[in-house]
Amino acid sequence: MAAALVVGATWVAQSAIGATDFDRLLASITQRWGAGATPKFNGWRNLLGAVSAAQDPERLKRVNDFFNKQTQFGEDTVIWGQPDYWATPLETLGRSAGDCEDFAIAKYFTLREAGVDADKLRLIYVRAKTGSTDSAPTQAHMVLAYYAQAESEPLVLDNLIGDIRPASRRPDLVPVFSFNAQGIFSGASNKEIAPAVGAGRLSRWEDLLKRVRAEGF
């Protein structure tokens, strides 16, 4: 996984979630993946119905479990024939497979659709240790973080570990930068390094938002 932070261009943030057209989403997924994708889409839609009136802790658990159990991990080169591809939630549902970015992205958009506030969610690009020692090699990885309050310790939703843990209980993860539709931040902190309109751009994220909107979100 190679998430590239491109500096020196203007990033115009777009609202990640608007008024979602579920009929359009269903048409999008069946047109591309066939009728076989309909049960997975219906399961996802039923999940949204089940958690839309729930409190955030229940939403986080149900959404995290859904994608961790329903999605098979795979490399972009195998799934998409590309070295680094950020899939939309519909693409992940259609393939029933994805890499770490795809898990995090699908959870992000699902939680936003379920009613979780935008400023409470952030995707975090991390270096993940591959062993238990301090000198263990690391690899690029992405997780989704939830902030109950602006200064709260984030909770980490990860495809590598089934339960949701506070960041302090994930010493294997070293944050590099984080982002959402509002800005790019230093590590997992609230220090913004690129505002919604400013001197930075995460190009793959911007492209993803356009494709998600085109699908019907």
> What residue numbers bound the domain in which 175 lies?
6-215
pLDDT, tens digit, 9 for 90 and up, residues 105-117: 999 999 999 999 9
Whether residue 1 is contained in a domain is answered as no
Whether residue 203 is contained in a domain is answered as yes
pLDDT, tens digit, 9 for 90 and up, residues 123-166: 999 999 876 666 678 899 999 999 999 889 999 999 999 999 99
Q: What percent of the chain has pLDDT above 90?
A: 69
Q: What is the domain-level CATH number for residue 17?
A: 3.10.620.30
Whether residue 158 is contained in a domain is answered as yes
* Torsion angle defined by CA atoms of residues 67, 68, 69 and 75, in that order, rounded to the nearest 10 degrees: 90
pLDDT, tens digit, 9 for 90 and up, residues 22-74: 999 999 999 999 999 999 999 999 999 999 999 999 999 999 999 999 999 99
Whether residue 95 is contained in a domain is answered as yes
Whether residue 149 is contained in a domain is answered as yes
Task: Report the 10 Å Cβ neighbour count for 44.
Answer: 22
Whether residue 16 is contained in a domain is answered as yes
Whether residue 187 is contained in a domain is answered as yes
Domains contained in the chain, number = 1
Whether residue 182 is contained in a domain is answered as yes
| 170-177 long-range contacts, CB within 8 A, separation 24+ | 172/128, 172/129, 173/124, 173/126, 173/127, 173/128, 173/129, 173/141, 173/143, 174/126, 174/127, 174/128, 174/129, 174/138, 175/124, 175/125, 175/126, 176/124, 176/125, 176/126, 176/127, 177/5, 177/124, 177/125
